[in-house]
Structure 1
Amino acid sequence: MTILVATGLERERHLLAGPDLEIIAGGGDHERLEVRLEQLGAGKSGLISIGIAGGLAPDLVVGQWVVATAVLDRPHSISTDVAWTERLVAALPGATRAPLLGSNEMIVERTHKAALHRATGAAAVDMESHIAARVAQRLGLPFAAARVVCDPAHRSLPRAAQVGMRPDGGMDIAAVLRSLLADPRQLPALIRTGWEAEKAFRALLRGHRLLGRGLAGPDLG
């Protein structure tokens, strides 16, 4: 049996690659991601959203795991599979068990992050978990979500970082450079963002190794 995996970037897809996994990188295109997950979901043993996320809870640090008890697809809340969630928490050192918020748009301003945390109680936000939760619910698949904090709640992302993702999940280096040339004052924030992203990607890779084959999902252990 195969686990279907939803993530955001091509780099995440490569870091998570392994046997018994079929991985889709959303690239910020929520409509395409939903269609692809629907097409590929039949016959899968489960669906998981995993990758990096923006922190909303002020106590979370870069590289920390958030394992979802539910995914908020406002105004709805979709619960995760209890047994799968517990296996994820047990395998990922320091993981926080909390709700995740799904968003069709990148949440980049620290004031917006704080407002969302107050309004929803979610610990982190990403652009794929609500889509994956919705599809899993329709298809009757066990569902889980686990995300690594990449940009913490107190951090706003520079414009150059916001334009760096292509719709296929790859990196648009040209767009980043154009933004940087237009406003070179972004450079220190962009360097810091890149360093924090590397820390999150390393945590994602370590977590993948700890979870093992099938990401601790149903039927695969």
Structure 2
Amino acid sequence: MFLKLYTVWLGVFSVSFVFLPIYLVLNWRKRGTADGFSSVVLIIPMIIQSFWLRHGLMTNDWTNIIINSLNLSVLSCYVAAYAYYQPKRKYLIGQIIGAAVIIKCAFLYVDSHDSEHLNAAMGSVAAGAQILGLGGRLYEMRRAIKMGTTEYIPAVMQFAVTALMAQWFIFGVITGNKFIAIANIAGLITSAFTVMLYFRYPPLTWTVPIFNIPPQQSQKQE
């Protein structure tokens, strides 16, 4: 009973995150263009979720199937909106083709395994892709250290993603899915280091919620 309720909660909580980029779309509409924004933040999650979707299909995990199917559908709409508002579409087209090639090659690699190891191979690919997807966050951390401030690492989004990964980690543990557990523990470690940066390099103009870390400008005035 607990697992069923937890699965429903996790599904609702996870799906809610896919609607966050709608603020980007509204911004593009207001500006009349998506020029200057990167579509990579939309394409990379689609690759990762494609891997988790196939893993769910192979293991008959309906939680993964439903969540990732819905997420892929909504992300496709965001990509379409980006294409509509982006006057320079050649990079987007290249990224979509590249994503399709990566997904196809990954599936071919998985299919090269014998039936006994197919599920494990797909799980390893999905978990590995999610861990590699942390590269963007590592770049943000490196940039914050170089600039001496976490001004451009939104705390609310950071804490929300951390909460989501923590719940997926718990789900992986209680269901015995080591691939989900490993992928999300890597994300939690990255989040822990990011939170440490808020203390070492506070934002310039805003207070970090929860920890109530004042901005650097306020500290200088004192």
With the length of structure 1 as denominator, give the TM-score of the two structures.
0.31
With the length of structure 2 as denominator, give the TM-score of the two structures: 0.31
Larger Rg: 2
Higher share in strand = 1
Flag the structure with more relative contact order, 1 or 2, with Cα contacts below 8 A and sequence separation at least 6.
1
> In proportion to residue count, which structure has more helix?
2
